[in-house]
Chains A and B, each alone.
Chain A
Amino acid sequence: MKKVVSIVIALMMALMLFAGCSKPAQSASAGATIKLGVLAPLTGDVAQYGTAVANGVTLFFEQLNAAGGINGKQVELISYDEEGAPDKAVVGYGDLLDKGVTAIIGDVTTAPTIAVVTESQADNTPMITASATAAAVTVSETGAVYTNMFRSCFIDPFQGSKMASFASEILSAKTAAVLFNTGSDYSIGLKDAFLETAAELGLDVISNESFSDGATDFQSQLTNIAAKKPDVLFVPDYYSVVALVAKQAKDAGLTATLLGADGWDSVLNTVEDASLLEGSYYCSGYSTKDTTEAVQTFVTNYKAKFNAEPNMFAAQGYDAAMIMAAALTKAEEAGLEAGTAEYKQAVIDAMKATNMDCVTGHVTYDEFNNPEKTAAIINIVGGDDQFWGKF
């Protein structure tokens, strides 16, 4: 009797084993859709960024699917809300893989993205973030590049380098001054990149002044700078500091053209008199004022679908989707099967070789998988932000 029971149990166990096997075979044979994961905080403190990115991604794939998808296959988006928490993002990554995604768009903020990339590196899952700007997202602490990780936004210091080139090549500046915040990584990063590029281009930085975080008085630094009469003054900090600098620069008799980066966004709401910043330039990843057709079409379509003005995160989300779709197309064209290791590698190789026009600019990748792309230059003219052009 005991023998009979044990044989039955053994048979049942064997059956269960086969049942477990049958599942992947089923999904491999389906193949009519390409499953793509979207990892983003859709609720919680940073939900505003997550939803903007997810909206941009959704918009792109809706358009793509309506136009016939990739290689005749529809792209199925599976999103996971990680609430802005690194641990939940890692759980979400596992969940998305279980659901059979072949690549991931995400994450949105820096800390969760870093948490996920250390996991996804082992699986070689292609990933692209639309908005995580820290250098550590694509490069590990040991300096090794995460080969599967890309981004559609530029890293912060890149803007410093952009503005140095802009000053030298477009404004024909010969001398420059820098005023930066010693208590901000953002400010220091931009300043270092500016100095490096300035040295390469022969732009002479004749004055390098700093202030501590929270300072409101820049009078003595600006007096020193004004005495040296530089052509341009680079102020890599946020708008509330810029508003104070603009006023005091005028009082100190400074005539240099002021230059800034995306921290200047909405500075005209904080400066009491816009004429103080007349003629200044700053760069930004994206501007709705951008008159190029790609941006205007995107803005119109986005407004039609979401009834809101697309911000930088939405535009970069759209671009991340565009870059990913192009890479998926290459892998499909090679006749590979979605979800396989070869397919993933093909997607990664295709992303690395990206060379295309996106909404926020023309994108190619450098050795650290950071995009080398054009920035939108904003010129303050007549008390208003005017789109100067791409640079």
Chain B
Amino acid sequence: MLFLSQLINGLQLGSIYALVALGYSMVYGIIMLLNFAHGDIIMMGGYFALVTYAASSNPLLAVVATIVGCVVLAVAIEKVAYKPLRQAPRISLLITAIGISLFLQNAAQLIWTANSRAFPSTSIIPSITFKVGGLSISLSVLVTIAVSVASMVALTFLVQKTKMGKAMRAVSEDTEAAQLMGININSTITFTFVIGSFLAGIGSVLYCCRYPVVNPTLGSLLGLKAFVAAVLGGIGSIPGAVVGGFAIGLAEVLFTSIGLSAWTDAMVFAVLIIMLLIKPTGFMGRSMTEKV
């Protein structure tokens, strides 16, 4: 029974990692950028929800504002910071992403101070605990898992079955060839950022409902771990990000539950190193040959 509870904890944590990892993976797949500002967009999402709820006391409005806020912010960052560098070396893009990450953290600190703030989680997802046998499962855990899975199914449909999804896959495969085939590269890339940050917005609400304290560094460790999950699954691969997210979540909980909690973070990054040594492309990544 204890094992089953821990398994549910792992699925819950894993589904949040998976949602965030998807954002990393999709952006990497399309413009080869490790978007290190992704975690901080989630942090900003937490504040958007906090501020909207404080002003309106409407949980639905808070959720919508978070998602819209994350999307607008991510698209703005893409237009202002990343687009002018599309022809620049990839390292410039990476450094810009780190710069944006620092900018967002400090902006949040300037606007909302460095103090931790309480997040109105029970107003968004009521605090209800179900007792099944000896198991106690809270509603927020069930909602987290259900919403994550639903988002992933919707994303798979979007990418595999729609015209825009086809364009995304084409751009990811070969940007120049896709352009020659008449695909609008700019709008496809923007669309990818919209989808990635939409998922980040959902992830932000779910994360803050589980861990209801918001502060300006909320996104850093979450972002790093989701990045590890994306690499583990094979960066650029959508099912890979999901598999990686769940794998990291479950491994963390398993490690902690046997009493090695002090080593959990070290374990996550050790997994990354081992994976890079054995199979650099991750579980589901395509091996890419360097184009000459």
Write the residues of chain A forming the contact surface with B, with a CB cutoff of 8 angstroms. 182, 209-212, 214-217, 219-221, 223-224, 226-227, 239-240, 243-244, 247-248, 250-253, 269-273
Q: Would A243 and B252 count as touching, CB distance under 8 A?
A: no
Q: How far is the CA of A60 from the CA of B128 in the complex (A)?
A: 53
Q: How far is the CA of A217 from the CA of B256 in the complex (A)?
A: 10
Q: Which residue of B2, B12, B213, B259 contacts A219 across the interface (Cβ within 8 Å)?
A: B12
Q: Would A251 and B261 count as touching, CB distance under 8 A?
A: no
Residues of A within 8 A of B211 (CB): 216-217, 244, 247-248
Residues 220-263 of B contacting A (Cβ, < 8 Å): 221-222, 252-253, 256-257, 259, 261-262
Least distance between A210 CB and chain B CB atoms (Å)? 5
Least distance between B150 CB and chain A CB atoms (Å)? 21
Q: Would A221 and B129 count as touching, CB distance under 8 A?
A: no
Q: Would B213 and A212 count as touching, CB distance under 8 A?
A: no
Least distance between B211 CB and chain A CB atoms (Å)? 4
Q: Would B212 and A243 count as touching, CB distance under 8 A?
A: yes
Residues of A within 8 A of B52 (CB): none
Q: How far is the CA of A243 from the CA of B120 in the complex (A)?
A: 12
Q: How far is the CA of A271 from the CA of B116 in the complex (A)?
A: 10
Least distance between A150 CB and chain B CB atoms (Å)? 34
Q: How far is the CA of A29 from the CA of B10 in the complex (A)?
A: 78
Closest to A238 in B: B116
Q: Would B264 and A212 count as touching, CB distance under 8 A?
A: yes
Q: Would B262 and A219 count as touching, CB distance under 8 A?
A: no
Stretch of B23-31, B72-80, B135-143, B182-190 at the chain-chain interface: B135-143
Residues of A within 8 A of B259 (CB): 209
Given contacts A244-B213, A252-B136, contact A272 B129 (CB under 8 A): no
B160 within 8 Å of A by Cβ? no
Given contacts A217-B211, A244-B212, A251-B140, contact A270 B116 (CB under 8 A): yes
Residues 14-60 of B contacting A (Cβ, < 8 Å): none
Least distance between B124 CB and chain A CB atoms (Å)? 10
Contact-residue bracket for chain B: 35 or more
Closest to A217 in B: B13
Q: Which residue of A211, A212, A252, A272 contacts B121 across the interface (Cβ within 8 Å)?
A: A272
Q: Would A224 and B2 count as touching, CB distance under 8 A?
A: yes
B193 within 8 Å of A by Cβ? no
Residues 111-148 of B contacting A (Cβ, < 8 Å): 116-122, 127, 129, 131, 136, 138, 140-141
Q: Would A223 and B116 count as touching, CB distance under 8 A?
A: no
Q: Would B6 and A250 count as touching, CB distance under 8 A?
A: no
Residues of B within 8 A of A252 (CB): 5, 136
B215 within 8 Å of A by Cβ? yes
Add 20 more A-B contacts to A220-B6, A226-B136, A243-B212 (CB < 8 A): A212-B261, A214-B221, A215-B264, A216-B211, A217-B210, A217-B211, A220-B257, A221-B257, A221-B261, A223-B5, A223-B6, A227-B1, A244-B212, A247-B212, A248-B210, A251-B127, A251-B129, A252-B5, A253-B131, A270-B116
Q: Would A272 and B9 count as touching, CB distance under 8 A?
A: no
Q: Would B213 and A270 count as touching, CB distance under 8 A?
A: yes
Q: How far is the CA of A212 from the CA of B6 in the complex (A)?
A: 19
Mark interface residues in B196-224 (1 if CB within 8 Å of A CB, else 0).
Answer: 00000000000000111101001001100
Q: Would B261 and A209 count as touching, CB distance under 8 A?
A: yes
Q: Would A220 and B9 count as touching, CB distance under 8 A?
A: yes
Given contacts A244-B213, A270-B213, contact A250 B262 (CB under 8 A): no
Mark interface residues in B92-123 (1 if CB within 8 Å of A CB, else 0).
Answer: 00000000000000000000000011111110
Q: Would B212 and A272 count as touching, CB distance under 8 A?
A: yes
Q: Which residue of A210, A227, A240, A250 contacts B213 across the interface (Cβ within 8 Å)?
A: A240
Q: Would B120 and A219 count as touching, CB distance under 8 A?
A: no
Q: How far is the CA of A216 from the CA of B208 in the complex (A)?
A: 10
Closest to B9 in A: A219
Least distance between B157 CB and chain A CB atoms (Å)? 30
Q: Would A223 and B127 count as touching, CB distance under 8 A?
A: no
Residues of A within 8 A of B218 (CB): 216
B173 within 8 Å of A by Cβ? no
Can you report 10 residue pairs joining A to B where beta carbons are below 8 Å apart? Answer: A211-B256, A223-B2, A223-B9, A223-B257, A240-B213, A247-B210, A247-B211, A253-B129, A253-B131, A273-B127
